[in-house]
Amino acid sequence: MQFKSDKIVPLLILLPSLVLIGIFVYGFIGQTVYVSLTDWGQGAALAENPEINLIGFKNFGDLFSGFLNSRFRQDLVNAVFYTLFLVSGALGIGLILAILLDRGPKGESVFRTIFLYPMSLSFIVTGTIWRWLLAPRGGINRLPTMIGLPAIGFRWLNSRQSILNFNWQNLPQITAIVVGAVFLYIAYRQWRSRSKKKALLSLVPTGLLLLWALWGARFTPAILPTPEQHGFNLATIGIIITAIWQYSGYTMALYLAGLRGISEDLREAARLDGANQFQYYLNVAIPILKPMTMSAIIILAHISLKMFALIFAMTGPDNAETSHPAVLMYLTTFRANNFAKGAAIAVVLFLMVAVFIVPYLVSAYRERRA
Amino acid sequence: MLNRKTIVLAAISILVVGLLGTSLSVAASSHMDDLSGELEIFSWWAGNEGPALEALIDLYEEKYPDVDVINATVTGGSGVNAKAVLKTRMLGGNPPDSFQVHAGQELIGTWVTADRMEDLTWLYNEQGWMDVFPDELIDLISTEEGIWSVPITIHRSNIMWYMPDNLEEWGVEVPNSWDEFLEVAPKLEEMGVTPLALGTNWTVNHLWESVALDVLGPDKWSALWEGELAFDSEEGIAVWEKLDEIMEYVNDDYSSLSWQQATDLVVEGDAAFNVMGDWAAGYMSTVLELEPKEEFGWAASPGTDGVFMLLSDSFGLPKGAPHRENTIAFLKLLGSKEGSDTFNPLKGSISPRLDSDLSKYNVYSQSAAEDFSSDRLVGSLAHGAVANEGFMNDFAQVMEIFLNSRDPERAATAAQAIAKQNGIQ
């Protein structure tokens, strides 16, 4: 009896939340995936019993290679750059701030509060404030005039310039080269760990991918009928700055806790071995901070995929230059009534988040078992 | 114990009174004055449009004191957030008693096609509205199956604003066509004046429709929406080409300015003209306290004199509205002369009724009302009259393609493609 209730009681306690999460999280993820495979959104989309047909992966195909969906593709490119810059910017600035505070300057707690404070604001509030600061005729652009210099003319939020352009038609080749490079790296690692057979095996896909990308691709049909340039839009810089401003305090707090957790003995030992401050941080402290970096990357990366509110507050729904798949999903679903395509965009976003979260969960699970 | 007893008693008495109330209202449904219960009105009228709605609700409550009016407002310009909330409510089977919707395809293409509205033809006949609203307006809110909403406001989209004193100083006349504008524009630019003030993205769509109305004329404009004229036809491309020329003479920071800030450019003398709907008159006279006609002037946007491009807010009766009788009373008030003339002077719009009491309106509205009764009426694209929501949303993306590439032919091709996709052609 004792044994049984041991299992039953926890199960009973967990059951309500399992059921609720099953319905409201996984059930609706399933529902969204289903909708993304239909044509819901034609004609009477909002009828009580709308006519919905399964059409397979057509919505996804349209998004990635349809003539009219160039905004989705630019949004996807934007999302990649938002993630890249938010993660690297917030990690870098957070680390520098943490190291400065770690050295115990006067008024440390005041600075800590000041740096951490932006995180407690909502994206709507920061977005509104920074929209004013970055306005073309005011705020930051007017600062130099206070000391008699000409005003800055840069359009933080509405520049139409873009750099690092590439042709979307070349995307399959670019992907093939990147994946090939990853296999090459794996082969190199295996070679180093003296499993030459495995290394040679890994070289096969590398060779095939590179061969296709450099030579074979010209025989496969293009994914778009016409060339289409996408790149890093300079108008996103304003939004990136705002996001970094808001979240570097958070990484600072994470790193500072990590730095404070390093025992004084270790620092003493490093000093005895002749390491100066710089060497101590580079060779001793930062490697110890690796778990913090990992969790910060996960958190920041998924925040960067949820920047909807910040973008909506700063540049509004129709400014495609700074847009994000999440904004497009909202417009496609609720303004254009195209529920199926909106769901397809949501699924793409979901997969992007999964790319960050799943490896983290797997490694965390493994660590706990070990 | 005592406490619980009182609660139970109270609950029972509320139930009894409630039952009596409903049975009474059923019995007395012919006497509208005895209406009771609730009435939930869903709109995006907040901020400086709020007082107009409040005044209308006050009038309703005066007539039907037993009805509890719930003013459900979701803020956000031209209803961007309200429409999303409304759609989730309708899909969830929880419609409000009545909701604000732009007359035209925003109503027909979204809600009537989905069979969510009740036909109001009987109400139009009963109230004699067939004769007081202009035919073109009734056409906008009708299909062959019926009439689907009651219009409450009229705004005009194709207006060009300017400061008469500034124009005199610069020696510039109000252009009568976009070609005339393009002639004076270089002259203005030489003087350091931006010829045309422009704001955020939707105001470019707004400019597009005024340009199109000049290039195409009202007949072909209507043909465009009936699928008789292709967007990528010669005329269709000509609209984009004209817009391309005009875009050379706008302020280069337009995409980060609100429409009010674009109007400010004209008021402050940094820019000469601005094309905007007539809510700009309300902004200039109420917020900036400028005297209409004396301090700010207006004309139909170049080449569109004699044509009134309209947009209109309307309210309908959704199927399954929880308080149908109360809603019908509300719709009657909306369509009445009294309701219309209470609401519109405060909102800064004009009445859709041709017999409204003009003495209650300001100088601008009086002139607009005069044009409304004599001009040819056509519907606006940027404000939901002529095209369904799918097309409107996609058109914003076509505009982005144009602004990035500045390629008229490419934009026209894309416009044709989205017209096809959204069932216009």
Q: What is the pTM of this model?
A: 0.83
CA atoms within 13 A on the CB side of B355: 11
Per-residue model confidence (pLDDT) at position A57: 92
Per-residue model confidence (pLDDT) at position A369: 78
Strand order in the sheet with B150-151: B67-73, B37-43, B98-102, B313-315, B150-151
Residue A293 CA from chain centroid, whole number: 15
Rounded to an integer, the average pLDDT of B320-347 is 93
Per-residue model confidence (pLDDT) at position B243: 96
| DSSP calls for B355-419 | T--GGGS-HHHHHHHHHHHHSEEEE-TTTTSSS-HHHHHHHHHHHHHHHHH--HHHHHHHHHHHH
Per-residue model confidence (pLDDT) at position A78: 93
Q: Which of A320, A282, A307 is nearest to A160 (CA)?
A: A320
- Mean pLDDT of all residues belonging to chain A: 87
Helices (H), B45-177: 50-63, 80-91, 105-107, 121-127, 129-132, 135-140, 164-170
In B99-130, which positions are buried (b, 16+ CB within 10 angstroms) versus exposed (e)?
A: bbbbbbbbbbbbbbbbebbbbbeebbeeeebe
Per-residue model confidence (pLDDT) at position B26: 43
The phi, psi pair for B360, rounded to 5°, reads -85, -5
| DSSP calls for B67-101 | EEEEEEE--SGGGHHHHHHHHHHHHTT---SEEEE
**CA B405/CA B382 separation, integer angstroms:** 21
User: Does B87 contact A46 at a Cβ distance shorter than 8 Å?
Assistant: yes
3-state SS string over chain A?
A: CHHHHHHHHHHHHHHHHHHHHHHHHHHHHHHHHHHHCECCCCCCCCCCCCCCCECCCHHHHHHHHCHHHHHHHHHHHHHHHHHHHHHHHHHHHHHHHHHHHHCCCCCHHHHHHHHHHHHHCCHHHHHHHHHHHCCCCCHHHHHHHHHCCCCCCCCCCCCCCEEEEEEHHHHHHHHHHHHHHHHHHHHHHHHHCCCHHHHHHHHHHHHHHHHHHHCHHHHCCCCCCCCCEEEEEHHHHHHHHHHHHHHHHHHHHHHHHHHHHCCHHHHHHHHHCCCCHHHHHHHHHHHHCHHHHHHHHHHHHHHHCCCHHHHHHHHCCCCHHHCCHHHHHHHHHHHCCCHHHHHHHHHHHHHHHHHHHHHHHHHHHHHHHC
The enclosing H or E element of B271 equals strand B271-275
pLDDT value at B22 more than 50:
no
- Mean pLDDT of all residues belonging to chain B: 89
Task: Copy the structure tokens of residue A137.
Answer: 């005729």
pLDDT value at B246 more than 90:
yes
A251: alpha, beta or left? (left if phi > 0; alpha if psi -120 to 50):
alpha
**What residues of A are in contact with residue B113 (Cβ under 8 Å)?**
43-44, 47
Amino acid at site B393: N
Query: With an 8 Å Cβ cutoff, is B417 touching chain A?
Result: yes
In which band, very low, low, confident or very high, does the pLDDT at B13 lie, cut at 50, 70 and 90? low
Per-residue model confidence (pLDDT) at position A32: 95
**CA B81/CA B317 separation, integer angstroms:** 21
Report the residue of chain A nearest B77, measured CA to CA: A316
> Looking at the DSSP assignment, which residues form a beta bridge with residue B274?
B161, B197
Q: Label residue B366 exposed, middle or buried (CB < 10 Å: 0-12, 13-18, 19+).
A: middle
**CA B143/CA A92 separation, integer angstroms:** 61
Task: Copy the structure tokens of residue B375.
Answer: 């001009």
Per-residue model confidence (pLDDT) at position A367: 80
Asked if B151 and B340 count as a contact pair (C-beta separation under 8 A), the reply is no
**CA B142/CA B155 separation, integer angstroms:** 19
pLDDT value at B29 more than 50:
no
User: Does B393 contact A70 at a Cβ distance shorter than 8 Å?
Assistant: no
Per-residue model confidence (pLDDT) at position B24: 44
Asked if B223 and B213 count as a contact pair (C-beta separation under 8 A), the reply is no
CA distance A350 to chain B (A): 21
Stretch among A190-199, A212-221, A287-296 having the lowest mean pLDDT: A212-221
Query: With an 8 Å Cβ cutoff, is B201 touching chain A?
Result: yes
Query: With an 8 Å Cβ cutoff, is B77 touching chain A?
Result: no
Rounded to an integer, the average pLDDT of B130-140 is 93
In which band, very low, low, confident or very high, does the pLDDT at A195 lie, cut at 50, 70 and 90? confident
Q: What are the tens digits of pLDDT across the range A303-330? A: 888 889 999 999 888 888 899 999 999 9
**What residues of B are in contact with residue A137 (Cβ under 8 Å)?**
253
Rounded to an integer, the average pLDDT of B153-176 is 94
CB atoms within 10 A of CB A50: 17
Interface test with A, best of B115, B198, B256, B264 (most A CBs within 10 A): B256
**CA B246/CA A255 separation, integer angstroms:** 54
User: Does B400 contact A320 at a Cβ distance shorter than 8 Å?
Assistant: yes
pLDDT value at B32 more than 80:
no
**CA A83/CA A243 separation, integer angstroms:** 10
| DSSP calls for B174-191 | PPSSHHHHHHHHHHHHHT
Nearest to A68 among B113, B403, B418 (CB): B418
The enclosing H or E element of B310 equals strand B307-311
Per-residue model confidence (pLDDT) at position B105: 92
- More confident: B257 or B237: B237
Rounded to an integer, the average pLDDT of A111-137 is 89
Query: With an 8 Å Cβ cutoff, is A167 touching chain B?
Result: no
The enclosing H or E element of B242 equals helix B234-246
In which band, very low, low, confident or very high, does the pLDDT at B209 lie, cut at 50, 70 and 90? very high
Task: Identify the three-state secondary structure at position B279.
Answer: helix
Residue B399 CA from chain centroid, whole number: 21
Rounded to an integer, the average pLDDT of A4-25 is 89
pLDDT value at B288 more than 50:
yes
Q: What are the tens digits of pLDDT across the range A247-279? A: 999 999 999 999 988 888 888 888 888 888 888
**CA B45/CA B349 separation, integer angstroms:** 13
To the nearest 5 percent, what fractions of chain B are helix, strand and coil?
A: 55, 15, 30
**What residues of B are in contact with residue A135 (Cβ under 8 Å)?**
256
Per-residue model confidence (pLDDT) at position A60: 93
In which band, very low, low, confident or very high, does the pLDDT at A178 lie, cut at 50, 70 and 90? confident
Query: With an 8 Å Cβ cutoff, is A159 touching chain B?
Result: no
Q: Which of A243, A247, A289 is nearest to A266 (CA)?
A: A289
> What angle (nearest 5°) sits at the alpha carbon of residue B23, between those of residues B19 and B116?
95
Asked if B289 and B88 count as a contact pair (C-beta separation under 8 A), the reply is no
CB pairs under 8 A between A and B: 86
**What residues of B are in contact with residue A50 (Cβ under 8 Å)?**
114
Rounded to an integer, the average pLDDT of A153-182 is 84
Per-residue model confidence (pLDDT) at position B9: 54
Q: Label residue B327 exposed, middle or buried (CB < 10 Å: 0-12, 13-18, 19+).
A: buried
In which band, very low, low, confident or very high, does the pLDDT at B378 lie, cut at 50, 70 and 90? very high
pLDDT value at B18 more than 70:
no
pLDDT value at B1 more than 50:
no
User: Does B111 contact A46 at a Cβ distance shorter than 8 Å?
Assistant: yes
pLDDT value at A15 more than 50:
yes
Task: Copy the structure tokens of residue B201.
Answer: 């993205």
Per-residue model confidence (pLDDT) at position B20: 47
Amino acid at site B338: E
Task: Identify the three-state secondary structure at position B196.
Answer: strand
**CA B299/CA B51 separation, integer angstroms:** 28
**CA B296/CA B290 separation, integer angstroms:** 7
> Looking at the DSSP assignment, which residues form a beta bridge with residue B38?
B68
User: Does A335 contact B80 at a Cβ distance shorter than 8 Å?
Assistant: yes
**What residues of A are in contact with residue B401 (Cβ under 8 Å)?**
70
> Looking at the DSSP assignment, which residues form a beta bridge with residue B376?
B307
CA distance B77 to chain A (A): 11
Domain boundaries of chain A, sorted by first residue: 59-249+301-345
The phi, psi pair for B160, rounded to 5°, reads -110, 130
pLDDT value at A31 more than 80:
yes
Nearest to A67 among B110, B111, B417 (CB): B417
The phi, psi pair for B70, rounded to 5°, reads -105, 120
pLDDT value at B163 more than 90:
yes
Task: Copy the structure tokens of residue B129.
Answer: 């509205």
Alpha carbon dihedral A12, A18, A19, A25, in 10-degree steps, equals 170
The interaxial angle of helices B234-246 and B389-405, nearest 10 deg, is 60
Interface test with B, best of A28, A154, A333, A337 (most B CBs within 10 A): A337
**CA A282/CA A261 separation, integer angstroms:** 16
CA atoms within 13 A on the CB side of B257: 22
Strand order in the sheet with B307-311: B155-156, B307-311, B376-379
Asked if A228 and A168 count as a contact pair (C-beta separation under 8 A), the reply is yes
Per-residue model confidence (pLDDT) at position A355: 85
Stretch among A70-84, A175-189, B341-355 having the lowest mean pLDDT: A175-189
CATH, range A59-249+301-345: 1.10.3720
- More confident: B62 or A168: B62
Rounded to an integer, the average pLDDT of B344-353 is 91
